[in-house]
């Protein structure tokens, strides 16, 4: 157990819908990262927050947004969902802006 928690574990929804994925970092970690793992794209970095502020942006679509709250948990919002958004979404956390990352168990999103 890495200490990073993610909810829900599984999510099944329909095209066009909006969902929110939640992540709680390890105790003491200030940085939160979001990743998407799909069969055709592999593991891709989406976005990073550090102590509430966005610090790095990767291949995140405009339909996706994220934020980190004062209690340091983070949410990833996915809207206007498409079939291709079906993937495993991971959250990771680290103590510093750059540092060893620890991954949560992931949320498996299925868009039908």
- Of residues 73 and 108, the one with the C-beta less far from other proteins: 108
- The residue (of 64 and 102) whose beta carbon lies closer to other proteins is 102
> H-helix or E-strand containing 77?
strand 74-78
Q: How far is the CB of 88 from other proteins (least distance, A)?
A: 6
Query: Rounded distance, CA 102 to CA 106, Å?
Result: 12
In angstroms, give the least distance from the CB of 55 to other proteins: 6
Interstrand relation of 107-111 and 102-103 (parallel, antiparallel or unpaired): unpaired
CB 110 within 8 A of CB 12: yes
- CB-CB neighbours of 64 under 10 Å: 20
Footprint on this chain of other proteins (rule: CB under 8 A): 2, 33, 35, 42-45, 48, 55-58, 88, 90, 97-103, 105-106, 108
CB nearer to other proteins: give 43 or 80. Answer: 43
């Amino acid at each position: 157990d890495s200490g990073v928690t993610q909810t829900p574990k599984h999510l099944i929804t329909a095209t066009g819908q909006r969902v929110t994925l939640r992540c709680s970092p390890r105790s003491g970690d200030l940085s939160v990262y979001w990743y998407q793992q799909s069969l055709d794209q592999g593991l891709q970095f989406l976005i990073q927050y550090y102590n509430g502020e966005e610090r790095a942006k990767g291949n995140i679509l405009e339909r996706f947004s994220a934020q980190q709250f004062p209690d340091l948990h983070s949410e990833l919002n996915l809207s206007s969902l498409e079939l291709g958004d079906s993937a495993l979404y991971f959250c990771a956390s680290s103590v510093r802006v750059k540092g060893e990352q620890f991954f949560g168990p992931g949320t498996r999103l299925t868009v039908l």
